[in-house]
Structure 1
Amino acid sequence: MKINKYNTLVFTMLLGFGLSGQAQTKKWTLEECVRYAMENNITIKNTELDIKNAAIDKRGAIGNFLPSVSANASHSWNIGLNQNITTGLLENQTTQYSSVGASVGVDIYKGLQNQNTLRKANLSIVASKYQLVKMQEDIGLNVANAFLQILFNKENLKVKTEQLSIDEKRLTRSEEMVNAGTIPRGDLFDLMATVATDKQNIIIAENSLLISKLSLAQLLQLKEFTEFDVIDDTNAKDENNIMAQSPTDIYNKAKEIRTELKLAQTNLEIAEKNVAIARGAYQPTLSAFYNFNTRASYSQIPVGATPNLDNPTSQIGYVQGTNQSVLKDNYTPVLGNAAPIVDQFSDNKGQSFGLQLSVPIFNGFSVRNNVERNKVSLEKSKIDLEQKSLDLQRNVYTAFTDAKGALNAYESSNVTLEARQQAYNYAKEKYDVGLMNSFDFTQSQTLLTNAQSDVIRTKYDYMFKIKIIEFYFGIPIVPIITK
């Protein structure tokens, strides 16, 4: 039984190490990087919150059409001389009162401000969604650029490593040739310096690769990025044949689909609604209201009267001519408890309703100034839309020209590399038979290395330029998922 437990423990540990190793060796594709960024990038999350705020503003705009309802209740103690709300008499006593009320108000006409505010809220939601898509597109391009930078640094490191391997083999062979007296010892020192330089170049290339990986990992908001790596996709082809399109065709397509133009157009429509809302303050407003209230008192109330035995009568005047006194009987009121609270609330109900019209006459130019400010914002929105269109045209033509230049540079660098490779092979043959010194051979080798680096650089520059052209033509790196 102990053996079985031990075997199980060992198997579990090995499985854990195996899974850990698989997790560490996972390589991300470009599509995985972009999708992960869409879901986790902080800037995108912040933009998504703007959509929620716009939805809240829309609910507020809808609420402007609904009646406003409020209720109130109070209970008070009155001490000293005050009016009994039940009898209407002034009495020097302590009383308690309760009152309950409710009011309803609704706008009937408000210069179409509520309608325009709701239309503006709907446009704001659309604008927020466009802003989110634009942010996703920008992040996608940034991720693609960072992804290609890693691939460039990988190939560059590979070239540097291969160069070091070649030079170390040459150094070993040169040591044998020096010992045999075939070449001078000075050539050996040159090769030792070359090997040392190669090692420095590898360190620089490794640091560049590490920094590029770190940059992409941070762009993806990865918490664990020490083992982060991407797949080695080095295909430099125009798979969508985008370069077959003319710049004019690309620009015309971009005008129809580019998010920045849609966003600018929506912002223009929002500015128009702001002007309409501001102008609505010039017009009269009509509202309706309804009020309800009731009250109750806890004081005793008169319920009858009894003759005043201590002072049964009192004189109230004289008969004209006879001067005979006119007397009245004096009574003492009999007090009883107040009616039940529920009955008082039912008996003391009161209601009021009506219409209220407000006509603006003069308000210190505040409405006029607000309209003028919104008109200025509207003109700015028109200019912004026009500028966005001009920028898009310039960017498309620039990107197309850059892509053509990058393709020409890539093709030329391949031709140069092939020539440098042949020159290096010829120099190596001469060096091996002692017809070329170490310095000249090293120069040939340096030119070959530079040519290899140029091929790598121009290849990834061309790949990124193609991504930009596809971006303007409406071919996303990965399909954008809107929420």
Structure 2
Amino acid sequence: MKQYMLILLSLLISVPFGIQAQEKPTQWTLKGCLDYALEHNIQVKKSKIALEETKVDTKTAKAQLFPSLTASVTQGLVNYPSNEVATHTSYSGNYTLNANLKLFDGGKRTTAIKQQQLQTQMQELGIEQSEDDIEIAITQTYLQVLYAYEAVRINENTAEVSTAQRDRSAELLKAGSISRTDMAQMESQLSTDKYQLVVAQTNLENYKLQLKQLLELNINEEIFLQIPQLSSEDVLSPLPDKQTVYQTSLSVMPQIKSSRMNISIAELEKKKAKAGYLPSLSLNAGLGTGHLSGTDYSFGSQMWNKFNQSIGVTLSIPIFSNRENKSAVEKAQLAYESSQLDFLNAEKELLKTVEGVYLDAISSQNQYTSAIERLKSVEESYKLTEEQFYLGMKNTLELLTEKTNLLTAQQEVLQSKYMSILSIQLLNFYQKKPIDINY
């Protein structure tokens, strides 16, 4: 009996410590999501691998400046069936070592090195572009989750109010102050509000799932957000000058840098194509020897007697190349003109994006200000209508209409609030300022 009491006592003592030892779930901030995604995103990792590939290509291009060295061994049998000798078959072997160094090729190799170096820089910008894409996607989805959280809270409050009104209406029905029709309308409104709450909760889970997938979390991992306390000052923070945002974005955004760099690559390609018209000069050197069976000389003597050294210079002058050089120059010129158009298009697309975000920011802030004012008046009207309803001065339809107006006004404030926050963050993004929300 004493042993059982000790075991029970130890269990009672261990329970509180077990509860306290449970770790609290990680609460994700926007910055935490961005940092995690940039480190673990598969597309970003693939872009980094592509960068390493371009570095290898650059090393290959530089290696073309050095001489090449090849060795060859040839072994063969030769049959002489018509010879009146004891052995009709001879065995032969040839061994060579050749070196080649291109002295002049019109600058093709040095131009190719410059192109590869620019390609490496473009791939670095490609990594930045991949990071920017995931940054925008996570910011948008994160704010959608915050919006959904607040939408659930609003619908929960609405359902609670509907429950209280239903209960109060039941008392009024017993007292004979309202009809069964009014009571049925209250019941119907409560069912509608509960349904809307379920819809809001479903939307929240969908947005959380989207954020979880962007972060590439495991299937068993849950995601909990740290909810920031956003004030009207955050929503209505002063906007930077639109022209300043655009000019800054032209100098910092990777797609513009990449398009500008692509023009330089196309220009180098023109130079490399024109080099096809120029002669090339190569230096060749080699060592060789061989042997043949069926002779009066030994293997060693033949290897020494046939040992040879050679050196020479080869000058290649293009005279007629079936239009290959001319076509290469024409294609390079067209590619150069196309790269210039791509650059102009990238500038216009960026301008369109910045102007759209800036317009959204102004519009959202104005809508937020108007929605706040409207919400105040609708709340006052709803309170008066509810008081008058319980006094028998307003009917059920008038109360439910005011309640619907209140819910609509709350949702308008919520929508304009997060649209404004998103637009402000995007304006920061296009100036390469850090994206973050005050907590």
Q: Matched residues in 2 for 1:91 and 1:45: separation? A: 71
Aligned-pair distance for 1:419?
A: 1.0
Q: Matched residues in 1 for 2:74 and 2:383: separation? A: 103
Aligned length: 433
**CA deviation string 1:32-76 (max 9, x = no partner):** 211222122232233223212211211221121111111011333
In structure 2, the partner of 1:127 is 122
**CA deviation string 1:77-136 (max 9, x = no partner):** 3343699xxxxxx98544333332110111111110000000000000001111210121
Q: 1:244 to 1:204 in 2, by over 3 A?
A: closer
In structure 2, the partner of 1:195 is 190
**Does residue 221 in structure 1 map to residue 180 in structure 2?**
no
**CA deviation string 1:302-357 (max 9, x = no partner):** xxxxxxxxxxxxxxxxxxxxxxxxxxxxxxxxxxxx5364x543443111110001
Q: 1:244 to 1:221 in 2, by over 3 A?
A: closer
The question of whether the paired residues in 1 share the 8 Å contact of 2:286 and 2:311 is answered with yes
In structure 2, the partner of 1:117 is 112
**Does residue 407 in structure 1 map to residue 365 in structure 2?**
yes
Q: Please tell me the residue identity of whatever aligns with 2:58.
A: K
Q: Matched residues in 2 for 1:111 and 1:151: separation? A: 61
In structure 2, the partner of 1:268 is 263
- Name the % identity: 22
Normalized against structure 1, the TM-score is what? 0.82
In structure 2, the partner of 1:284 is 279
Q: Matched residues in 2 for 1:436 and 1:144: separation? A: 46
In structure 1, the partner of 2:23 is 22
Q: Matched residues in 1 for 2:332 and 2:10: separation? A: 75
Q: Matched residues in 2 for 1:404 and 1:171: separation? A: 41
Which residue of the other structure, out of 231, 256, 259, is the alignment partner of 2:254?
259
In structure 1, the partner of 2:66 is 66
Q: Please tell me the residue identity of whatever aligns with 2:39.
A: E
**CA deviation string 1:429-471 (max 9, x = no partner):** 1112121111111111111111111111111110101011111
The question of whether the paired residues in 1 share the 8 Å contact of 2:234 and 2:421 is answered with no
> Comparing 45-54 with 107-116, which one deviates more in the overlay?
45-54
In structure 1, the partner of 2:241 is 246
Q: Matched residues in 1 for 2:401 and 2:280: separation? A: 88
Which one has the bigger helix percentage? 2
Q: Matched residues in 2 for 1:118 and 1:208: separation? A: 53
The question of whether the paired residues in 1 share the 8 Å contact of 2:239 and 2:424 is answered with no
1:318-357 alignment to 2 at 5 Å? 339=298, 341=300, 344-357=302-315
Q: Matched residues in 2 for 1:40 and 1:103: separation? A: 49
**CA deviation string 1:370-393 (max 9, x = no partner):** 111111110011111122223323
The question of whether the paired residues in 2 share the 8 Å contact of 1:275 and 1:371 is answered with yes
- The alignment partner of 2:283 has SS state of strand
- The alignment partner of 1:243 has SS state of coil
Structure 1, gaps ≥5 residues long: 84-89, 302-337, 479-483
**Does residue 294 in structure 1 map to residue 306 in structure 2?**
no
Q: Please tell me the residue identity of whatever aligns with 2:76.
A: S
> Comparing 224-233 with 447-456, which one deviates more in the overlay?
224-233
Q: Matched residues in 2 for 1:165 and 1:40: separation? A: 42
1:374-385 alignment to 2 at 5 Å? 374-385=332-343
The question of whether the paired residues in 2 share the 8 Å contact of 1:214 and 1:225 is answered with no
**CA deviation string 1:225-260 (max 9, x = no partner):** 662222212425676997342112222222221222
Normalized against structure 2, the TM-score is what? 0.90
Q: Matched residues in 1 for 2:262 and 2:165: separation? A: 67
Q: Matched residues in 1 for 2:258 and 2:55: separation? A: 17
1:165-180 alignment to 2 at 5 Å? 165-180=160-175
Which one has the bigger strand percentage? 1
The question of whether the paired residues in 1 share the 8 Å contact of 2:235 and 2:417 is answered with no
Structure 2, gaps ≥5 residues long: none
Aligned-pair distance for 1:369?
A: 0.9
Which residue of the other structure, out of 379, 382, 393, is the alignment partner of 2:351?
393
**CA deviation string 1:265-290 (max 9, x = no partner):** 11111111111111111110111111
In structure 2, the partner of 1:323 is none
Q: 1:379 to 1:17 in 2, by over 3 A?
A: farther
